[in-house]
Amino acid sequence: MELRLPTRGGVQLGELALKFRAVVNMQVLNEAVGAMMYHTITLTREDLEKFKALRVIVRIGSGYDNVDIKAAGELGIAVCNIPSAAVEETADSTICHILNLYRRNTWLYQALREGTRVQSVEQIREVASGAARIRGETLGLIGFGRTGQAVAVRAKAFGFSVIFYDPYLQDGIERSLGVQRVYTLQDLLYQSDCVSLHCNLNEHNHHLINDFTIKQMRQGAFLVNAARGGLVDEKALAQALKEGRIRGAALDVHESEPFSFAQGPLKDAPNLICTPHTAWYSEQASLEMREAAATEIRRAITGRIPESLRNCVNKEFFVTSAPWSVIDQQAIHPELNGATYRYPPGIVGVAPGGLPAAMEGIIPGGIPVTHNLPTVAHPSQAPSPNQPTKHGDNREHPNEQ
């Protein structure tokens, strides 16, 4: 059977669509100054070098392992994230997975759907085999940023004793939340009845959960991952599930996405719950994430890069700060070049009569007005005791989801 596309004026509409898409793509590469993207897109150095005017990328979400942030910084492109994005949704989803593993609701539902008869105590005992009491169990969290802390608060309400491992976090947070800190990954794995991952993926923690670390876990422990798929060696996990070393696992993220039970090392693994990278999603969270990303783009347009950005994750890789004032403004769409919000360097527009006294020396965009007043040296502002540094505030955790 031959597939024929609709035509108009003798030209197939499919051809028009392809040509239009090519024109749009070329326009994006040549003119795009800012970009917002989800986790489903990957940008390598080769990809980034194709953009002619790009100066800021905002990842709509907290993880940014899908962008080469070092290459971006060297190219003068700021990469930002939304570290507070979907904290509640991800924490709630994590707790749902943990409860499912302990109470086996998913498998009980499947048994009923398959027609299993459950009436006698013996039948209940058989179909619910593996269900466990939660109170008194130890939940170990790897990574204790915003999401990890939100999970801890929820888990304590169910009676979990919560411990965490996070080598980047300052001392003291465990006291305020009533949890226990351990200082090695081995200690956390050895003490935990259930291990939950809450760290971003980077070059240091790929396959953090592997055959070696699984053998350090308690026999029959549970594993939950709603962070990044690359943190878990799925081949090692599948083998551990088959051997019973891990009693059950719940994964919202996978090494290869979109995930399919029909292929990959997990296709025959027992006691496994998988969801399609949706732990972060709710209508409210989706809207808030996009709004926050757009706000960060606006900071870039109206300010300086990377200084004006609240959540820039690659400042350390910048060869040079790339203020908007040095960008060729003619190459940028008038509505995106910041002209509405500040004056270009060397040009100060002042209404007749001058600026009000309260505004003298200040104009939108932070460009100083020349005056003859003596300059005053101000002492540097020292952070308060136990106050996180600015760099620490701009991210949830170097490895935090």
CB 237 within 8 A of CB 264: no
SS3 per residue for 300-348:
HHHCCCCCCCCCECCHHHCCCCCCHHHCCHHHCCCCCCCCCCCCCCCCC
Q: Which one of 55, 104, 245, 277 is the catalytic residue?
A: 277
Q: Is 335 a catalytic residue?
A: no
Residue among 49, 126, 257, 307 flagged as catalytic:
257
Burial class for 177, CB neighbours closer than 10 Å (0-12, 13-18, 19+): middle
What is the spatial distance between Cα 340 and Cα 91, in angstroms, rounded to a whole number? 40
- Residue 358, judged by CB atoms within 10 A of its CB (0-12, 13-18, 19+), counts as exposed
Q: Which of 59, 228, 395, 397 is catalytic?
A: 228
User: Distance between CA atoms of 182 and 339, rounded to whole angstroms?
Assistant: 52
Distance, CA of 24 to CA of 43 (rounded, Å): 18
**Is 104 tagged catalytic?**
no
Measured between alpha carbons, how far is 93 from 197 in angstroms, rounded to an integer?
13
Chain position carrying tokens 């007005």: 369
Is 257 known to be catalytic?
yes
Report the alpha-carbon distance of residue 240 to residue 220 in Å, rounded: 9
Tell me which residues are annotated as active site. Answer: 228, 257, 277
